[in-house]
Amino acid sequence: MIVPTKQKILDAAERLIAEQGYAATSLRQIIAGAGVNLAAVHYHFGSKDELLSSVIERKVGPVNEKRLALLTEYEAEAKGAPVPVEKIFDAFLTPMGKVAGTHPQFVRVMGRVVAEGMLRTVLEKNFPEVQARFFGALRRSAPKMSDEEFEARIQFMIGVVSHTMTMCGPASEGGFEARVERMIRFLSGGFLTPEGGRK
Amino acid sequence: MIVPTKQKILDAAERLIAEQGYAATSLRQIIAGAGVNLAAVHYHFGSKDELLSSVIERKVGPVNEKRLALLTEYEAEAKGAPVPVEKIFDAFLTPMGKVAGTHPQFVRVMGRVVAEGMLRTVLEKNFPEVQARFFGALRRSAPKMSDEEFEARIQFMIGVVSHTMTMCGPASEGGFEARVERMIRFLSGGFLTPEGGRK
DNA sequence: GTCTATACTGAGATAGAC
DNA sequence: GTCTATCTCAGTATAGAC
C-alpha cells in the first residue's frame, strides 16, 4: 500500500504538532517523520502555516457538519422554544469527543492551535457557520443576559474547551472523550448562573 | 535617571511578550527595544526561557502573597467551616485584577505563558504554595465531589482564567480587571453544579 | 506535475576580547 | 559587565532533475 507524499506529510505533522505544539515543531522534524524532502512541504502546502491549516481542514469539516446536524435536530425538538443549553453544548462537544476516540491527536492539534493564539484565524476560516449558529442558539437560551456578560461568558467557555483539548492525554487515559460529559455540566452551570452582584 | 541594563531588558521583554506572545518575540526584538547588546541577555539571564522566568518572578511574588493573605483572612472569617467558593475565587483573582489595573502587560504575559503550554513549569516554580492552599480550600468546599470530577473542574477553571488573561485587552477597554467579578460568578456556578448524569 | 539539492535570512546560543 | 564574531538550526525560496 503506497501512501502519497501529501498524506505522509499531513500524518507526520498531525502527530508531531499534537505531541509538541505547533511552534515547537520544525518542518525538518516533520519531513524526517514523513520520510520526504523539505521542499515537498512547500510544493504541496506553500508554508508551515498552510500545512497547519490543511491538517485541520482534513478532519474538522465532518466534525462541524455533525455539530450543525445535531443542533438542527435539537432545534426541531424544541419546536421554536430556546434549545436547552445542555443540548447546545452536547451538540458542540459530542462530535469532537467521538473523533477523539479514534483520532486523539487531531483533537490535541485543535487545542494547541487555540492555545497558541491562532483561535481567530481558525475560527474565521473553518467555523463561521458553526460559530454563528451556536452563539445564536446560546443567546436565545439566555435572552435576559446583558451583551457584556454574554460576551464574557463566551470567552470563558472557549477557555474551558480549548484548555481541555490541549491538556487531555491519550485516549487510553480517558482523554477528551471522557471529559465531554463533565464539560457539558460545568459549562451549563457556569453559563446559567444568574447575572448580577455578589453579597 | 539611569536605568540598569537588566531592568531595561525586563521592561522591553514584558512589553513585547504581552503584545506578541513568547514564542513570537525574538531576543533581537527585545534588545532593540531595550537598546542593549544581544549577549547582555545571556549574560544577565542565561537564556530566553530564564528571561521569561525573571519577567514573571519580578511581579508574581507580591500577587501571590496578597492571594495567600486574602485566603487566610477568609478562612479566619469562616471559623473552621469551608470557605464559600466565591470567596476562594475572589482571593485568587482580585490581586491579579488589581495588578492588571496598573500593569496590564504583566497579566497578559501570564496568560501567554499558560496558553503557550508552560503552565506546569510556571506553576511548580512560582505557585507551589498558592496551588496547594487554593486547591485544598476548594476541595473542602466540595467534600462530596468525586476526585475525578474535582480534577476535571480544576482543569476547566484553569482554562477560564488563562484564556481570560491572554485575551483581555488593555486596561482602557476594561481588560482583565473588568472581567474578575464575572469570572468569579461563572467559576462559582460551574464549580458548584451538582455532579452526576443528565437527563 | 512531483520532487531533490541547495542557498538565503533570521533565530538562540556561546567564546573570548576588552 | 559589555560587545564582536561566530555557531547551529529554524523557515523559506528557487533552480532544475525526472
**Chain A residue with minimum CA distance to B19:** A117
Residue A76 pLDDT > 80 = yes
Closest CA-bearing residue to C1' of C3: A40
Closest nucleotide to the alpha carbon of A48, via C1': D11
- Find the helix or strand (DSSP H, E) in which B5 lies: helix B5-20
pLDDT band at A199 (very low <50, low <70, confident <90, very high): very low
Distance of CA B71 to the CA centre of its chain: 16
CA–CA gap between residue B53 and residue B63 (Å, rounded) = 15
Helix axes A147-167, B147-167, angle to 10 degrees: 120
Residue keyed to cell 505557585: B127
- How close does chain B come to A26, measured CA to CA in Å? 13
What pLDDT score was predicted for residue A198? 47
Nearest CA-CA partner of B12 in B126, B165, B38, B1: B38
- Which residue is listed with cell 462537544? A93
pLDDT on residue A113: 83
Alpha helices in chain A (DSSP H): 5-20, 27-34, 38-44, 48-78, 85-102, 104-113, 119-126, 128-141, 147-167, 175-192
Whether residues B183 and A156 touch (CB distance < 8 A) is answered with: yes
Model confidence pLDDT, tens digit, residues B7-65: 999 999 999 999 888 888 999 999 999 999 999 999 999 999 999 999 999 999 999 99
Quote the CA–CA distance of B177 and B100 in Å, as a whole number: 6
Q: How confident is the model at residue B198 (pLDDT cuts 50, 70, 90)?
A: very low
Res. B191 pLDDT band, cuts 50 70 90: very high
The chain-wide mean pLDDT, for chain A, equals 91
Mean pLDDT of the B106-127 span: 80
> What confidence score (pLDDT) does residue A190 get?
98
- DSSP string spanning B123-170? HHHH-HHHHHHHHHHHHHHSTTS-HHHHHHHHHHHHHHHHHHHHH---
pLDDT band at A166 (very low <50, low <70, confident <90, very high): confident
**pLDDT cut 90: percent of chain B above it:** 74
Q: Which of A86-90, A151-155, A166-170, B158-162 has the lowest mean pLDDT?
A: A166-170
d(CA B163, CA B135): 19
- pLDDT greater than 90 at residue B95: yes
Q: Which residue is nearest to nucleotide C6 (CA to C1')?
A: A39
Q: Measured between CA atoms, how close is A2 to chain B, in angstroms?
A: 36
Does the pLDDT of residue B172 top 70, yes or no? no
How confident is the model over B77-90, as a mean pLDDT? Answer: 97
The angle that helices B128-141 and B147-167 make with each other, rounded to 10 degrees, is 130
Q: What percent of chain A has pLDDT over 90?
A: 75
- Cell numbers for A191, please give them: 453559563
- Cα–Cα distance between B67 and B61 in angstroms, integer? 10
Residues of A in contact with B21 (CB under 8 A): 116-117
pTM of the predicted model, to two decimals?
A: 0.90
Residue B187 has pLDDT above 90, yes or no: yes
pLDDT the model gives residue B199? 44
